[in-house]
Structure 1
């Protein structure tokens, strides 16, 4: 239990032995794709290595993180293998009771090649990663390209458990984008970042995934999603469509006897989860060239103009109010609502009372008032119950501090509200990372600190409720009217999704108990908006499913909740059958009435899939 909790930051924020990878080839810069100005790195993955699990198989993916021969200087092949393993661990329930590989999903060996490059959105300050996985057993009779974006702020393999696991075994190629996020952290202590092969390199030694402007060595650590100056979330849809074009061009190289690959002769399916789900819905609204044949979005972080609620709004609200609300007795049996890290929650009730935000005097009444405040703001009981984990792990503050910096296009030295990132010493104070810690960031991190030896510092005081001052500052950026607040709102407004075309098959799958991206703020207003405008999306609000399948092995979670991935796979199966002409696109579809597995192993009956 304690060992698992120590690894939670790399699962949340929000991510090996050597195999048979052959030496990488470098192909010249693209002549037909002006957004790929540099070289394309091509690697072959066969012989105890593959595209889907890097040769680890299901047991290896579920096992302990596999090691590096030289932890301070791992090879590119070892970094890739561990990045794939950590991406699986961060998204899928691979626990012994979870049913992966028996009840749903699977990890067969899929040999093939990878084509990877840095690409640019017009006007961007920093590049992003694109990667095509081309299986040897590509189905040339049913040409299929799955395009996906990483969940959360994860690196390039951040959607492999969804898009790769569904598409590669079917003979589809899969193209990934990190959508301007990822774990290519830049460390000012040694002026180093991450090269295309995942290894550390210093400024000027190689093209880097992220190379911010020079700053002093004590400037800490810069994160691409947050400090690129690009507000990448505003371009998530463009990243996805660009990835589709990159995928078609790489298919021309991978299978020249079948070229050209075009949207007219190749089915292109977009799918993503969480932030990746928001990205594919953004892409659907921008797809004027009709690249996409269908979209399946899981638990999407989708933001609308004038409808629903924006993530920054309810995340900063949750940071302030949930610690007090979850002190209510109704949450006494909820997992992590009474964990050791929650002992300060009663103090939050006292702080809100001292500031006049809560009127009543006793702790029980204060907790009840905070609970009522959130219920009036649209939070459901199931969402609040599951949000206890995000609150206990201090995720709301991490989202608020990081996303504020991204929306305001701030750098690592001028983040809002005094926040900054730095390596952590063993005592939790800011320090300098050693080579071993720094080398594993790219493979192990989920994209936004804290975690993996990087801490979020600042935004605190020496009061009995030290985080309150920073959280109130972040909230004031949303509620305020000054120039900085207006700039923040402009950054958020740039991220809203547009209306997809009328004939695009689109399916949204979301857990009814999602406590990170509650359906009432995201999927439900999006689906209602589409239907009001004459579109016909399918929508599954899956009972008992929450946001993090990877949390299901935690005590109390698997007993209460269902995984969401099997419903995503099922929706993709139905979409594929429709695109192949064997099944009509339904006007509506029954939502599965699944049930929690309790203390038993997951069964097909528990999922209630049609």
Structure 2
């Protein structure tokens, strides 16, 4: 370490609370992979700023948002801490009834180092982030690298509650990628984007996570997933494989005396959840070099050619039909399907009336219209269980947000020409478009989910002044899928480009999915994938977990959590079993019994209600 760096560390140590940060681009005999452009940022995390929770621990992760000393100009350490906290709270149920840290899971203090860089897929206009966490107690005798991709459109720490929480305590290094998504929002109002350390800088003054190809209208905000022009979903598998290669290269850099780290001496385990689960399945199908030793995918967004249904297909259908279908009496007891007074939400009843006005349902009463909307969805493969749970997604207006962003990504549109008149802008007074407050803008990278609205960014347009203003946008987005006009063909071509390829038959692969998933229903995703892979000669394991749904974080919502169980513990259990197979010589099972899980109920979750196979759990080394 240089004298200059030592002096710098002494100056900032009191502020960063044992977190020291250095930046390197070259080390003797060690080179970053060719797909990395620019610096590799190396940071050390010890004491009260560790790898797994940034020093917050379980109680801190579950608590109030980590603060910034200067809200308009947070430090890199503050942004990282808050990004880790946000990623945990967005995925795991950390509530008092959820059982995290008591019934399953743990958040130990894990000191170590991080290596982070911008990586590029050939031909891409924007980079994806790659990040490697190496614990100080990395097991050099049983070399293990876990590779993962963020769920949803989250930033690079988006899978830490799954991959980090399991891998780091096992002595594994963990490689992450944001897979071309993330909250590196570009604000045209001040011409700034996000730098490698999470801070903001002007276009041209530093490498940015995302900057639009051209100028953006002053009032609009550009989002990487929607506006990069890359259709990143088609490359999620390549992002994962690059992250794995980045991980091996950085292990060489961290332990030069034991280099090279290769698949001959280091086992690579891929795991991910939701979009991250789809990403690792994509990677498995592209893994011609046999990088991956095993895969565990939770509730994957996976598109099988000619089977199941593509995400855009059922999301745009749900955005139109579910509000009315959920007014049916069979969903009276579904959480979030009724007002506090036990009534059908007025907006949902109005949707039924509007569907009737457009000739899509018959009858003059909401009950009849709702029954027809229900039958329409049922005929398309929606189960009652999926629809009931999807009341939460509908109540939070997630269908519209997802459909607008993905339409723009698939059609490779920019911030100023999103399909169907949508656009993103900072939320001003009374929710109207405005200019972002500097403190709000500074928090985007750490707080935002990667798909607005939220965190001071609104989704505007795609609406009219009718009694059901969002229906016009929903129908427009649906038409992009159903039309045969040549102008809409790029969307369908982009969706087909996301189709997964079959993995090699010998690859240990386990798919874990909640039977009650209302966002990515098993009938459209995991089940056709598992059947298809089996038809190709592979032997994937499949857990369809009763009473588990898509959002563990939603389980803290009263009444909603009562009817479900978390999915994360089953992912941990599957990873434990894979570990036993790879490192302890345990046979890979031919089949696995479906857990006989039970709803949590009004009290705290118990091990008995999870019904986990205790004999498989090996726990941290």
Is 1:447 aligned to residue 445 of structure 2?
A: no
Do the aligned partners of 1:19 and 1:77 also contact (CA within 8 Å) in 2?
A: no
- Aligned residue in 2 for 1:157: 157
Deviations 1:230-249 (A, max 9, x none): 00000000000010000000
Cα shift at 1:596: 1.0
SS in 2 for 1:487: helix
For 2:270 and 2:55, the matched residues in 1 are separated by 26
Question: Which residue of 580, 586, 595 maps to 1:592?
Answer: 595
Cα shift at 1:259: 1.0
Do the aligned partners of 1:181 and 1:225 also contact (CA within 8 Å) in 2?
A: yes
For 1:74 and 1:527, the matched residues in 2 are separated by 45
Is 1:24 aligned to residue 27 of structure 2?
A: no
For 1:435 and 1:593, the matched residues in 2 are separated by 50
Do the aligned partners of 2:227 and 2:412 also contact (CA within 8 Å) in 1?
A: yes
Cα shift at 1:582: 2.6
For 2:478 and 2:32, the matched residues in 1 are separated by 46
1:244-323 equivalences under 5 Å are 244-323=244-323
1:61-100 equivalences under 5 Å are 61-100=61-100
Question: Which residue of 549, 554, 557 maps to 1:551?
Answer: 554
1:151-190 equivalences under 5 Å are 151-190=151-190
Cα shift at 1:216: 4.8
Cα shift at 1:333: 2.0
Q: 1:339 to 1:213 in 2, by over 3 A?
A: farther
Question: Which residue of 527, 532, 537 maps to 2:530?
Answer: 527
CA RMSD of aligned residues (A): 1.2
Deviations 1:266-321 (A, max 9, x none): 01000000000000000000000000000000000000110000000000000000
SS in 2 for 1:218: coil
Deviations 1:453-510 (A, max 9, x none): 0000000000111001110000000100011321110000000000100110000000
Cα shift at 1:28: 2.9
Do the aligned partners of 1:282 and 1:498 also contact (CA within 8 Å) in 2?
A: yes
- Aligned residue in 1 for 2:233: 233
Do the aligned partners of 1:148 and 1:280 also contact (CA within 8 Å) in 2?
A: yes
Deviations 1:137-157 (A, max 9, x none): 000110000000000000000
Which moved further from structure 2: 165-174 or 369-378? 369-378
Deviations 1:108-137 (A, max 9, x none): 000000000001000000111000001000
For 1:456 and 1:464, the matched residues in 2 are separated by 19
Do the aligned partners of 2:217 and 2:416 also contact (CA within 8 Å) in 1?
A: no
For 1:235 and 1:28, the matched residues in 2 are separated by 28
Question: Which residue of 400, 403, 406 maps to 1:403?
Answer: 406
1:79-478 equivalences under 5 Å are 79-339=79-339, 342-478=345-481
Do the aligned partners of 2:46 and 2:112 also contact (CA within 8 Å) in 1?
A: yes
Cα shift at 1:343: 2.1
For 2:415 and 2:23, the matched residues in 1 are separated by 35
SS in 2 for 1:182: coil
Deviations 1:569-607 (A, max 9, x none): 000000111011431011101011100121111111110
SS in 2 for 1:410: coil
* Equivalent residue pairs, number: 594
